[in-house]
């Protein structure tokens, strides 16, 4: 690991335009590579898993490069992973979109389902209720972040018993509460797009990149 710029691999598996995420991570102080090379993905200080579009399509794209296996191997070694948007959603057990149920990566139990809101998609800026002990939201607890999604996890199902630390959960509201971010050991994720959230989003990524130095 570089003492000055931790290395971050952005997983390239065909999910939309990820160059804004690369630029945002660079602005946050990381040395970034957009790649699907297994050795690079496994060896980087941090891995960012982006995701846009439908849950099922993202899962198919991930499976085509054995992305779930790469994430599993990193987490087994305590190596940090950050999921964004659908890259967060696929970390859960299953997704239900338009009546179609798709198995997720299962890193966390839970279901991604359509928001029960008068207006869907939830598109635009929204505040969050940052969880206590959050490192991602340190110094930006009261900022607004940019969301573009119709589906989310609306109930946290993982039970953690002592001595293991409780995950840090951050919630937002659009027709009802939903998970805006999770911090659980080496695995973290945001439902919103930090790379589209201005300086607050850069600071969140900077906070994450700082954890890679430890």
Averages of pLDDT over runs of 10 residues in the chain (214 residues) are: 82 88 98 97 98 95 97 98 98 96 98 97 98 97 98 96 93 98 98 98 98 88
Q: Is residue 199 annotated as a catalytic residue, yes or no?
A: no
Query: Active site residue: 107, 143, 183, 195, which one?
Result: 195
Q: What confidence score (pLDDT) does residue 3 get?
A: 57
- Residue appearing with tokens 């065909």: 14
Please give the Cα distance from 152 to 174 (Å, whole number): 10
Q: Is residue 69 annotated as a catalytic residue, yes or no?
A: no
| Stated pTM of the model | 0.96
For residue 197, count other CB atoms closer than 10 A to its CB: 22
Query: Active site residue: 85, 107, 122, 149, which one?
Result: 85
Structure tokens at 45: 């200080």
Q: Walk me through the domains of the chain, giving residue ranges and CATH numbers.
A: 7-211 (3.40.50.880)
Q: Is residue 122 annotated as a catalytic residue, yes or no?
A: no
- Residue appearing with tokens 């579009």: 53
Q: What confidence score (pLDDT) does residue 166 get?
A: 94
- Residue appearing with tokens 């201005």: 198
Backbone angles phi, psi at 192, to 5 degrees: -85, 175
């Amino acid at each position: 690991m570089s003492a000055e710029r931790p290395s971050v691999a952005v997983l390239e598996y065909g999910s939309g335009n990820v160059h804004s995420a690369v630029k945002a991570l660079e602005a946050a102080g990381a040395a970034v590579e957009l790649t699907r090379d297994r050795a690079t993905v496994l060896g980087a200080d941090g891995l960012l898993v982006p995701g846009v579009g439908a849950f099922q399509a993202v899962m198919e794209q991930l499976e085509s490069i054995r992305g779930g296996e790469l994430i599993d191997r990193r987490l087994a070694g305590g190596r940090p992973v950050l999921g964004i948007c659908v890259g967060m959603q696929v970390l859960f057990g299953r997704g239900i979109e338009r009546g179609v149920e798709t198995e997720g990566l299962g890193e966390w139990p839970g279901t991604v389902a359509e928001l029960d809101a008068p207006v869907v998609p939830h598109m635009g800026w929204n505040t969050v209720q940052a969880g206590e002990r959050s490192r991602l939201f340190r110094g930006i607890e009261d900022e607004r972040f940019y969301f573009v999604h119709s589906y989310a996890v609306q109930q946290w199902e993982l039970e953690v018993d002592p001595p293991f630390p409780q995950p840090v959960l951050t919630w937002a509201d659009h027709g009802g509460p939903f998970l805006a971010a999770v911090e659980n050991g080496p695995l973290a994720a945001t439902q919103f797009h930090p790379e589209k959230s201005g300086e607050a989003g850069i600071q969140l990524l900077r906070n994450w990149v700082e954890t890679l130095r430890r």
